[in-house]
Structure 1
Amino acid sequence: MDTIAFIALHGGMLENARQVFAGVHDDIRLAEGLMDGAAEAASKLAAAGVEVVISRGATARCIQRALPDLSVVDISTSSMDLLTALHRAKARAERIAVVAYPPMSDGAREMGAMLGAEVSVYGWETQEDIAPALQRARQDGAGIVVGGYITALIAARLGVPCQPVESGAQSLLAAAREAKRIAHGRGVEKAKSQLMRAVLTSTDNGILAVDRRGVVTVLNPVAGRLLRMTEADAVGRHVGEVWARSGLERLLETGQGQAGQVERVFDQEIMCARTAINVRGETVGAVATFHDVRQIQKMEATVRKRILASGHVAASRFQDIRGESPALRQALAMGADYARTAATVLIHGETGTGKELFAQGIHNASARRGGPFVAVNCAALPGQLLESELFGYVPGAFTGASQKGKPGLFELAHGGTIFLDEIAEMDLPTQGRLLRVLQEKKVMRLGSDQVIPVDVRVVAATNKDLGRLVAAGAFRDDLFYRLNVLRLRLPPLRARREDIPGLAAHFLEQASGQRAQQQGFRLEEGALAALHAHSWPGNVRELQNVMARVVAVHREQDISGALIRSLLDDPPAGCGQGEPASAAPAPRHPGQERVREALERCGGRVSEAARELGVSRSTLWRRMRGQKSPSGL
């Protein structure tokens, strides 16, 4: 598409341009028009895609006034063009008057002196000034006038001899080059503008920009929907009329931007950030970017789903928990009732009774089953490290912290359930931070002063009597009452001995794969009696371990009582048959003590502790988190 047009003032100028442009600027469209007629022709050309118009003198200015968005190139009158006209006029009269709009008349007197002619200059501002100027020139004794095409027309009407200034080939070619330079610049700017328009319309953020006076210059479609206003309605108006609470007027005064803040616009919540536009230290405008909070929540849900897919999943359900004893059935029924609520659950049970399986069952039976299930062993990490895991931290929050920062487990559990195992082992400072999270439903990362809302259900578990720990000052009473909303006590294996045969058979099959069925493992009466007689201080986990030992050492089909008794552990002191295991300290894996000591020596730096212990970093993390192998009850 041709974007440049040449509008000649008369037929002779049109023909001259056609000859000059031939073979050089064939892409320039040619037209004819004078003053208002030229403006009308330019308007039609602009509608057809023309962006730059070449014309001369008053006609060029008339086009520019009529079409301010059009680029107009005024053909400059060169010194050679004026000198040629003066030379021709001198041949007709000795006294010459130049009646022209500056700059056509520039240097006319000096050129006349060079030619030996007397030259006077009569300028004019509007077309109405031309006739009086011609009359004065005649009264002053001028024999001929020199001027542009309009001057020549009026002089002919008044009977005044006139030599018109014609634009030579060089002037026309120079104007064509300038027009093409402008057209190229407009094309570049148009491409940038289209790119910016694409960015503004494709982004999910609302964008409102103002100039230094507070007048709206940009309102993209998202901002328009949120503010219930079109771009055409907003651009050109003061921002106070578009959005009274934008805060941009104040920003223009101070030059200080603002981070994202939640505000209400009409009936919706938006997150808004404000930024000053500074050029050489001066504020020349401001931009507000905002987002519908509902969209942020949708994006957050997408992120949560990705986190869920990364491994924070509850694998077990209530129907996966094995056993038919009345005590277990009662615990399962109570757990199912608790799952229908959103309240905090405190699970109490001896070591190995399946507290995490019940926690997973509660999660999977609740309305939060689609959200993440995040489990953390509070006994696996020292206090500060546990805090950083639970609540996260910002870059540089402490020595050894990741330079990218890290979200805490409470953030990862948003929309789901967090399981705090061995809650009694949490130190008092961390208990205080946990209490605050439970009260306010917000977390604050270590090293930050920003709070992050979280929607998390807490399920805690312990094998100790928290009431006694509260009385001894080892556990906060306010946290205890926050956790002890719904209490679930899990029966020890010695209280559900009728489940032992079925569990033993299951664990035999689990430990040996298909070999148990191929060999037909069978528990003799003596073996079942030995299993029934044992106190099971390690509960179901201990039974699972014993069956794994049987598979490892036994090659016969029948399993005798003597074999079972030889493979059973002696009960720890204070954990005799029938005595509650919670009265004695919970047994600890000796490796966890080594891990704890190594972490303390290394200031919580996992990599250094792993090297000291001679294990891989991932192995140490698993030990720290107290991961257990999945098993059924």
Structure 2
Amino acid sequence: MSKVIVTSAYPELTGLVLDSAAKLKMKVIVVEAVLEEALEKVSHLNELYTVDAIISRGATAELLKQTFSLPVLSLAPSEADVLLALAAAKNYSPQIGYFSYPNLMDQEFLIKVRKILQIEIKHYSFRNIRELTAQMEQAHHDGCEVTVGGGQRGALLARAFGMESFLIFSSLSTIVSALEGAREIVSHRQKKRDEEERQQRYILEKGLVAHYTFNDLVGPTLQATITKAIQFSKSEGTVIIRGESGTGKELFAQSIHNESPRKNGPFVAVNCASLPDNLLESELFGYEEGAFTGAKKGGKVGLFALADGGTIFLDEIGKMSQDLQARLLRVIQTRELRKLGGEKNIPLNVRLIAASNEDLYAAVAEGTFRKDLYYRLNVLNLHLLPLRERKEDIMDLVDHYLTRYEHTHGSKPNLSPEFESALQNHDYPGNIRELENILERYLVLAGNNKPLSEGELFSFFPELCSEVSIKKDLGQSSLNKDNPVKPNEEFPLSVYPGTLEDMETQLIKALLLRYEGNKTQLAEKLNISRTTLWKKLNSNALLNKK
């Protein structure tokens, strides 16, 4: 529950505040303290409750303003209130010391008061208890017999130095005005919290959430890129992320969003290559009812509008048509969009992160990507290395994936040395996504924490075969073309869909491994000559692929 805290300088003020708050049907917490003591108590309450506003006065109010970002409303007495206190003090003694927070207005006011009361009034300013104590002592040495101001603490100090003290009372109208102002602030802030909660529920319901953070990025070679991306998170500039498929472009985009001031807003991801132009346009910008044949009743909210207050991630932006590029450029320039069939522009508050697995600068040179859009997008840029260029990260990634598996399944599988070696030497054309898929396949096939045999590994992971067969083919003593090998026919060969050349490559890799690099036997098995086999090995780069 939200709270209003009031600091009170004297018991009478405490009573007036509580009575006025009750009449206004407000719940307030009154702290009867000034300066550092009040600051300490307010700080403690701010940790316990949701505090929306503070009401205070004088030096205590200034101290609270310097400490908290919360609204601090003034309970300062009016000039008439101060004049009444000074007039009462004059009846006791003309030797008056006036205590207040340093304020230029005090000097002008005192000039007027001195003329009205026809007495000399000495002014002592203070910002904290130490200064208040020192100024009280100074007033005593200056011959003051009575003090005005300084609150309850000032009154106690004055009497300790043998001086009489008069408090400056805040009028009832001042108290009521401050309380009403605090009530408006509470109402406004509560409405804002309610709206944020409603938005968060909507974001969660629609799944517009970024799940990854920079803690999910693994590998020592990534640290410089992560540091750069964290810097980008603090900016509102557009980001372009370039990297091959599977290098983690969306993971970086989500991490940037979650590190940014927009982290509580929606995160909307769109793959521009997955939708035809007409559908992508309506998905991005939305449409009004009746905008085109088949438009659904009530129209559609576009993804840009859904991302309002957050981040939109456009993956494979290089696949967007020139017409759509022109429309996107206008949205970025004006920060407004117009739905298909719409007649009004809608303001947008969205940060854009774009990604591509191709060189957009080269696409500009080729005329397939708009030059003006490229320079609008290319404010901040990240380049993600393929996994084959950061092989020192492979085992860190493997350990990260297996640890995650252990958390969900209760055990961490052991990998055979042969499998680890193959993992470290593979080129990963599919990058991290391929590595994760290979590990997931291994975990499914291994079962019961029992490593797969060498024969099983070669049969179930044909994409890894060349890494082992190359080693064997380069001269291990166990390989002897004159010593026939009995191939392991126990397990079937696995081939993944692809081009004819890709599938032929997979088959030859697997068979070459089964025959332990004996090309004579493999050629006989395939019913081709060794020369033909050698040409296929070279053309498919089985032995030299890096």
Structure that is richer in helix per residue? 2
With CA pairs under 8 Å and 6+ residues apart, which has the higher RCO, 1 or 2? 2
Q: Considering only CA atoms, is the larger Rg found in Structure 1 or Structure 2?
A: 1
More strand by share: 1
TM, length-normalised to structure 2: 0.47
Q: TM-score, structure 1 length as denominator?
A: 0.41
